Structure 1
Amino acid sequence: MKLKSMVKSMTKVGLGLVMAGSVLVSCNDDDDNQGIAPNDQTIAGIVTSNSSFSTLSQAVTKAGLGATLSGNGEFTVFAPNNAAFEASGITSATLATLTTDQTKDILLYHTLASKVASSAVPAGPNAKVTTAQGDPIYVTKDARGVFVNGWKVNQADIMASNGIIHSIERVLLPAPGNLVETAQGNENLTYLVAAVVRASQGNTNVANVLASTEGLTVFAPTNQAFINAGFPTIASIQAADPDVLTSILTYHVVGARAFSSDLTNNQALNTVQGGTLLVNIGNQVTIKGRTNSTASTVIAPNVLATNGVVHVIDQVLLP
């Protein structure tokens, strides 16, 4: 399984909870955490000795990165604890299905090949930083703390002898492709994909815009959201007026990369369609269209694409 397919599969696992190469140094696949001393204060030693990082420790062992992360160098690791793995829908059983190389790619996406304390994180918002895996993460630092791809660092500056650890609230996954490819990889967004294809048969090639424009945010309605909005089947979408669909779809697109960390209560988001969306932040983040009677709930935030971010929502937004 290639990394791109694996990331799509891992993304589906995370979404299922709510809806149903660069390297650091040359590593041998036989490397593991064996031999790490109990009082080892390297990154690997701290992760191995801390029970709250036991799932991450399992991943480090499988990836063969124990020797690297306990060796010389200056590294930064954004480290998901057990709760972060669970919240991301990734279990020990999930990790067991991955190969060594796949696990290594995921872990290197959490790693920088230099030591970066929280005080040195660029303010951004969403400053682009290249990981040891080769793909970028997007970091923001403000009065609330540090955010990576929209997820909060819940414990910063855990000092290690060979670098620094920042505990983060979710597992980070590299983008599986552009915004269209990201939607195509999610079985809960097949109606949305059909709508994009049909809209592109009109005056605007919506698929090309979503695939090629840099820095967009898409609020992506689930299949059930389209059904509830009066599109009972994909055939009904395929029979709709392409230009009407274009107006609806572009109302779901914001012309800037906006992770959940960029959203504020009562914020008005300007859409590509020209209208605005109203953000409300309470126990959950909701997005309301101008003529919607109720707000839509963001049920899967911060799904990274190569040219933007997707937030899955449970209602179609109406201009």
Structure 2
Amino acid sequence: MKFKSLVKSMTKVGLGLVLSGTILVSCNDDDDNQMEIPSNQTIASIVTSTPAFSTLSQAVSKAGLGTTLSGNGQFTVFAPNNAAFEASGITSATLASLTAEQTKGILLYHTLASKVASTAVPAGPNAKVTTVQGDPIYVTKDARGVFVNGWKVNQADIMASNGIIHSIERVLMPASGNLVETAQGNENLSYLVAAVVRASQGNTNVANVLASTEGLTVFAPTNQAFIKAGFPTIASIQAADPAVLTSILTYHVVAARAFSSDLSNNQSLATVQGGNLLVSIGNQITIKGKANTSASNVVAPNVLATNGVVHVIDQVLLP
């Protein structure tokens, strides 16, 4: 994949920030960020003239997409505002470190080659839509609004003369690989990777299942989560019974693509292991295993993989 190394590095930046605290996921409309913009401007003109899109404007300029987004074609752009870039852990300095080609790839992942108003967004859930960049996004429309890869459109239908803008709450990042490769690309998940490798030495090739099965959700415990669960070192994981690790790991896997927007309060999720997980949603999303005394926090939701989605959590889930 052309932008694989870029996406891995950007994912690490975002995860590093959210792992230092707890990410909040809100379903409320952000009325304070609603923008009134004349519809006779092009997409590029709206982005460059709107203060809330100044970081996006910097990215458009660096990518050399100003002329394209000022052209006569009809486009749809899912546009992160400044707050969305900040919440995603991407600063002006981060953008400055990228090449024009890398920046262009990220922006084209936010772009569709036709005008799609919010009323025309497929209900889904998680309808697969191909972007100009070539990789898919997953869109859902319901009574709460429109969601892309689990993230909410804060303001839909900003009309432009050559298309439409939907302001979105996070920067969208294309998948860096399958579920195993996604974990391998994050240094905070090295214990999980070791557990997958060790479990695969038993009767079930867990690594192969996670790498090749389409449409999975993995709740991925951090290294510290494994340490808290009684695996102080990677060596201790490598010495564990593969069958025990397989039971634990498959308890973290749901056989469906479930972004944060697909989760609801008091929802019961059936796992591949056979047991169930309990979802709670308040100021944040938590997941509780049957044998856990407390719930695990989702500290980094909606990390896209080519065959599913990863939610990073701060406790190992126990069946």
Normalised-by-shorter TM-score class: over 0.9
Q: Where does 1:206-221 land on structure 2 (aligned, <5 Å)?
A: 206-221=206-221
The amino acid that maps onto 1:8 is: K
Question: Paired residue for 2:115?
Answer: 115
The amino acid that maps onto 1:4 is: K
Q: Aligned partners of 1:239, 1:11: CA distance in 2, in Å?
A: 30
The amino acid that maps onto 1:102 is: Q
**Normalising to structure 2: TM-score of the pair?**
0.93
**8 Å contact from structure 1 (residues 39, 45) kept in 2:** no
**Are residue 223 (structure 1) and residue 223 (structure 2) matched?**
yes
**8 Å contact from structure 2 (residues 178, 305) kept in 1:** yes
Question: Paired residue for 1:268?
Answer: 268
Question: Paired residue for 1:283?
Answer: 283
Q: Aligned partners of 1:162, 1:274: CA distance in 2, in Å?
A: 50
Q: Aligned partners of 2:208, 2:125: CA distance in 1, in Å?
A: 26
Q: Aligned partners of 1:285, 1:219: CA distance in 2, in Å?
A: 12
Question: Paired residue for 2:54?
Answer: 54
Q: Aligned partners of 1:231, 1:88: CA distance in 2, in Å?
A: 30
Question: Paired residue for 1:73?
Answer: 73
- Deviation of 1:39 after TM superposition, in Å, equals 9.8
Question: Paired residue for 2:130?
Answer: 130
- Deviation of 1:18 after TM superposition, in Å, equals 1.6
Q: Aligned partners of 1:40, 1:104: CA distance in 2, in Å?
A: 25
Q: Aligned partners of 2:17, 2:88: CA distance in 1, in Å?
A: 8
The runs of at least 4 consecutive aligned structure 1 residues that moved more than 2 Å come to none
Question: Paired residue for 1:139?
Answer: 139
The amino acid that maps onto 2:247 is: S
Q: Aligned partners of 2:284, 2:114: CA distance in 1, in Å?
A: 35
Question: Paired residue for 1:294?
Answer: 294
- Deviation of 1:294 after TM superposition, in Å, equals 0.1
**Normalising to structure 1: TM-score of the pair?**
0.93
SS of residue paired to 1:302: strand
SS of residue paired to 1:66: coil
**Residue 141 to residue 39, structure 1, CA distance change in 2 (3 Å):** closer
CA shift digits 1:127-185 (9 cap, x unpaired): 00000000000000000000000000000000000000000000000000000000000
Q: Aligned partners of 2:197, 2:138: CA distance in 1, in Å?
A: 29
Question: Paired residue for 2:257?
Answer: 257
Q: Aligned partners of 2:265, 2:71: CA distance in 1, in Å?
A: 45
Question: Paired residue for 2:43?
Answer: 43
CA shift digits 1:9-38 (9 cap, x unpaired): 000111111224xxxxxxxxxxxxxxxxx9
- Deviation of 1:249 after TM superposition, in Å, equals 0.1
Q: Aligned partners of 2:263, 2:300: CA distance in 1, in Å?
A: 14
Q: Aligned partners of 1:114, 1:19: CA distance in 2, in Å?
A: 37
- Deviation of 1:73 after TM superposition, in Å, equals 0.5
CA shift digits 1:61-100 (9 cap, x unpaired): 0000000001110000000000000000000000011101
**Are residue 165 (structure 1) and residue 165 (structure 2) matched?**
yes
SS of residue paired to 1:164: strand
CA RMSD of superposed structures (Å) = 1.2
**Are residue 239 (structure 1) and residue 239 (structure 2) matched?**
yes
Q: Aligned partners of 1:111, 1:2: CA distance in 2, in Å?
A: 17
- Deviation of 1:3 after TM superposition, in Å, equals 1.2
**Are residue 10 (structure 1) and residue 10 (structure 2) matched?**
yes
Q: Aligned partners of 1:254, 1:134: CA distance in 2, in Å?
A: 27
- More relative contact order in 1 or in 2 (CA 8 Å, sep 6+)? 2
- Deviation of 1:207 after TM superposition, in Å, equals 0.1
- Deviation of 1:2 after TM superposition, in Å, equals 5.2
**8 Å contact from structure 2 (residues 40, 160) kept in 1:** no
Q: Aligned partners of 1:50, 1:199: CA distance in 2, in Å?
A: 52
The amino acid that maps onto 2:292 is: N
Q: Aligned partners of 1:232, 1:19: CA distance in 2, in Å?
A: 19
Paired residues, what number? 302
| Structure 1 runs not aligned, ≥5 long | 21-37
Q: Matched residues, percent identical?
A: 88
CA shift digits 1:260-289 (9 cap, x unpaired): 000000000000000000000000100000
- Deviation of 1:40 after TM superposition, in Å, equals 6.6
**8 Å contact from structure 2 (residues 221, 314) kept in 1:** yes
